[in-house]
Amino acid sequence: MTSQNGAPAVRRQISTDRRKIVTEISISRKGSPKFGRPCCMIATYNEPTKRPTGAVLRHPGGYFKVNARAKVNKENGFTLFDLMITLAILAMVFTFAVPGMTSAVEKRNATSVAENIYSQIQMARSESIARSQPVFMNLSAGSNWALGFSTDQACDPTDDDPACTLPDTDGNNAISHRVTVNDHPDISVATTANQITFMPQRGTATAATINITSAGSVGYVMTVNVGLLGQVSLCSSDTDPSKYVRLYRACN
């Protein structure tokens, strides 16, 4: 490549990609030092292939037409090394994520049972006031726990004889009010009273404390308290910080 006055032009390519080609041009004359300055060459492209076909270079010494083609190396797929790196990253992710997911499921099981028992106690108290008669909630503790309530003091939550049911508002159909370990596995229940009696006068009740513990690796503890005046509260035990569920208030 030569300039318009016949001096040789030396082109040194600095960088090449699909978008632009940057070059540095020096125009030399015999017996004289090089002169010139960096200049940018804007490539023309073939639209279907997006590959450079040539360019026009603007320089203080004149315009030069340059034929340039950028060679683009294309690699399809991935190598065995790429696969090994990907598998190693996935293994690390699962190592840290699985314990957290297991703990979250265990926590959700404990809170779900506690909220269910809480709502059952509230319902039994409301039914006692609405029917103007005592309602009895019987609890069977342990890993095979069960609870249910009925106007029948002898109702058995672990069996259907007699069943823990209440008739509907018409007095015809018996509706079952029972929750067992079959509904919520991997949970154990402990209670200070195997029977809670709700009286229609002002909704008073037998005082009781029901502890719900998850059977997983952490052992989250939830507590349902029933007061003498029938008030019901739900909290999480904070005696062991690792077993405390932060979404609930701490038990005093």
SS (H, E, C) 49-108: CCEEEEEEEEECCEEEEECCCCCCCCCCCCCHHHHHHHHHHHHHHHHHHHHHHHHHHHHH
- Are residues 124 and 17 part of one domain? no
Where among 39, 66, 93 does a domain terminate?
66
Domain count, the chain: 2
**Region of residue 77 (left: phi > 0; alpha: psi -120 to 50; beta: else):** left
Which DSSP letter does residue 202 get?
Answer: T
- Are residues 52 and 162 part of one domain? no
CB atoms within 10 A of CB 2: 11
Residues 6+ apart with CB under 8 A from 24: 11, 12, 14, 38, 39
Q: What's the pLDDT score for residue 91?
A: 81
Per-residue pLDDT of the chain (252 residues; tens, 9 = 90+): 444 555 444 444 444 444 444 443 343 444 334 444 444 444 444 445 544 555 544 445 544 444 444 444 555 677 888 888 888 888 887 777 666 677 788 888 999 999 999 999 999 999 999 999 999 999 999 989 999 999 999 999 988 677 899 987 776 778 888 999 998 888 999 999 999 999 998 889 999 999 999 987 788 999 999 999 999 999 998 778 888 888 899 986
Range of the domain at 218: 105-243
Q: What's the pLDDT score for residue 17?
A: 45
Q: What's the pLDDT score for residue 73?
A: 52
- Are residues 117 and 236 part of one domain? yes
Contact (CB, 8 A) for 212 and 189: yes
- Are residues 160 and 50 part of one domain? no
Q: What's the pLDDT score for residue 104?
A: 82
- Are residues 147 and 224 part of one domain? yes
Q: What's the pLDDT score for residue 74?
A: 53
Q: What's the pLDDT score for residue 212?
A: 93
**Helix spans in the chain (H):** 80-131
Phi and psi for 198 in degrees, rounded to 5?
A: -105, 125
- Are residues 126 and 33 part of one domain? no
Domain presence at residue 100 = no
- Are residues 144 and 24 part of one domain? no
